[in-house]
């Protein structure tokens, strides 16, 4: 893991850009080493058919509609006792503590899953907060894709009131925004697209 002073610089990059533009972006939130390990974990799970089709809604109101969303997911949990996933959780613990200390957000928990979009997959416009549960306060996505280029598609498209913002899913990049505020979508991907997607919560 990076030294605390370098971590704080990256955390500030994410938070400051969020305050300025409502979408925070940090290019090196995940180190290349950690990103590669997490990517290997995700691809191993995919090969072993451990991923499941992602749904729309939560456990109380869930729907699987591949015409709206066609990605696959696997929930992360410290109980899995994977050293690289635990290193990721350690990083998120530091970020949440820093966010609470500097911005008084009151985050009390989080949830994360691996996300894999196969070629031709997408996710239409949506908000990340459930209608019957408002515990998700901030969305955060970290990308695991090496050598991604403009022809690969798969951009995260943020729908601001008067403009669209396209964000390429390059390795190590993190994107951060309020879960109940910005409609967004994942555009059609022309290559396998990998990420960790999660939410910072107030339970």
How many angstroms separate the CA atoms of 15 and 177, rounded?
Answer: 9
| Mean pLDDT score across all residues of the chain | 92
CA distances from 129 to 41, 53, 64, 65, 162 (A): 27, 19, 17, 18, 22
Per-residue pLDDT at 55:
67
Residue 132 reports pLDDT greater than 70 = no
- pTM score, whole prediction: 0.91
Per-residue pLDDT at 79:
95
Q: Say if CB 180 and CB 127 are below 8 A apart.
A: yes
Residues 63-120: pLDDT tens digits? 545 678 899 999 999 999 999 999 999 999 999 999 999 999 999 999 999 999 999 9
| Residues 175-188, mean pLDDT to the nearest whole number | 96
Residues 1-22: pLDDT tens digits? 676 788 999 999 999 999 999 9
Question: What is the CATH code for 4-201?
Answer: 2.60.120.620
- Give me the percent of the chain exceeding a pLDDT of 90: 85
Residue 147 reports pLDDT greater than 50 = yes
In the numeric block, which tokens belong to residue 88? 């990721």
Residue 62 reports pLDDT greater than 50 = no
| Residues 194-201, mean pLDDT to the nearest whole number | 97
Residue 169: Cβ within 10 Å count:
25
Per-residue pLDDT at 61:
45
Tokens 């709206």 -> residue:
68
Per-position b or e across 170-202, b if 16+ CB within 10 A of its CB:
ebbbbbbbbbeebebbbbebebebbbbbbbbbe
């Amino acid at each position: 893991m990076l030294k605390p002073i370098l971590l704080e610089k990256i955390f500030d990059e994410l938070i400051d850009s969020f305050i300025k533009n409502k979408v925070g972006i940090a290019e090196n939130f995940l180190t290349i080493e950690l990103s590669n390990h997490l990517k290997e974990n995700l691809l191993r799970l995919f090969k072993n058919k451990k991923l499941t089709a992602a749904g729309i809604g939560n456990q109380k109101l869930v729907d699987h509609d591949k015409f709206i969303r066609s990605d696959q997911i696997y929930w992360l949990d410290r109980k899995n006792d994977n050293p690289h996933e635990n290193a990721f959780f350690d990083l998120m613990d530091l970020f949440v503590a820093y966010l609470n200390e500097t911005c008084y957000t009151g985050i009390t928990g989080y949830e994360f899953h691996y996300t894999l979009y196969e070629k031709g997959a997408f996710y239409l416009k949506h908000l990340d907060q459930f209608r019957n549960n408002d515990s998700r306060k901030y969305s955060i996505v970290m990308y695991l894709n090496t050598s991604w280029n403009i022809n690969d598609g798969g951009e995260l498209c943020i729908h601001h009131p008067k403009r669209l913002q396209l964000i390429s899913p390059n390795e190590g990049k993190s994107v951060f925004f309020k879960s109940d505020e910005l409609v967004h979508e994942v555009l059609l991907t022309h290559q396998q697209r990998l990420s960790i997607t999660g939410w910072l919560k107030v339970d």
